[in-house]
Amino acid sequence: MKFGIQINEGPYNHEASVSALNFVRAALDAGHEIFRVFFYHDGVNNGTRYTTPPQDDINIVNSWSELAEKHNLDLVVCVAAAQRRGIVDEGEQERNGKDGNNIAPGFRISGLGQLIEAGIQSDRLVVFGD
């Protein structure tokens, strides 16, 4: 089965992202396909490489990046939600005249159309959040 994943909450503050990580790992292990993971609302905060949790805690951002590299996942951060919350890639840095960027490896910033497309193309869209 082909899954689309939507994550609506940031890391640490809410369990949504870790639940989604566990779900995606289990789905891949069972031979399913992940069409795309779309980060929306505060979920965009899963995509900053500046996250530095204590060493004895899980690094949620790195976990996504590593999983994306291993399974060639498409991790998409919503551009409108990202702009509000300061998640920036090189393109956004240039467009908005910022002095740096913070997007984590394996993530890309794109529009809400990517979420709609995930709904159309996937057999199931699974939303993580309240």
Kind and range of the H or E element at 4?
A: strand 2-7
C-alpha torsion sign, points 40, 85, 9, 108 = positive
What tokens does 69 get? 């590299």
Instruction: Find out whether 48 and 87 touch, Cβ atoms under 8 Å.
Output: yes
User: By CB under 8 A, is residue 117 in contact with other proteins?
Assistant: yes
Report CA dihedral (46, 74, 27, 121) to the nearest 10 degrees.
Answer: 120
User: By CB under 8 A, is residue 28 in contact with other proteins?
Assistant: no
What is the footprint of other proteins within residues 78-97 (CB under 8 A)?
80-81, 84
The number of C-alpha atoms within 13 Å of 58 and in the hemisphere containing its C-beta is 14
CB of 1 to other proteins, least distance (A): 14
Catalytic residue among 27, 75, 76, 78: 78
Stretch that binds other proteins, among 26-34, 52-60, 62-70, 112-120 (CB under 8 A): 112-120
User: By CB under 8 A, is residue 1 in contact with other proteins?
Assistant: no
Give the C-alpha separation, 41 to 129, whole Å: 10
Active site annotation includes 78: yes
Nearer to other proteins, 44 or 67 (CB): 44
Stretch that binds other proteins, among 11-19, 22-30, 51-59, 119-127 (CB under 8 A): 119-127
Binding site for other proteins (CB under 8 A): 6, 8, 40-41, 80-81, 84, 111-113, 115-117, 119-120, 125, 127, 129
Q: Give the active site residues.
A: 78
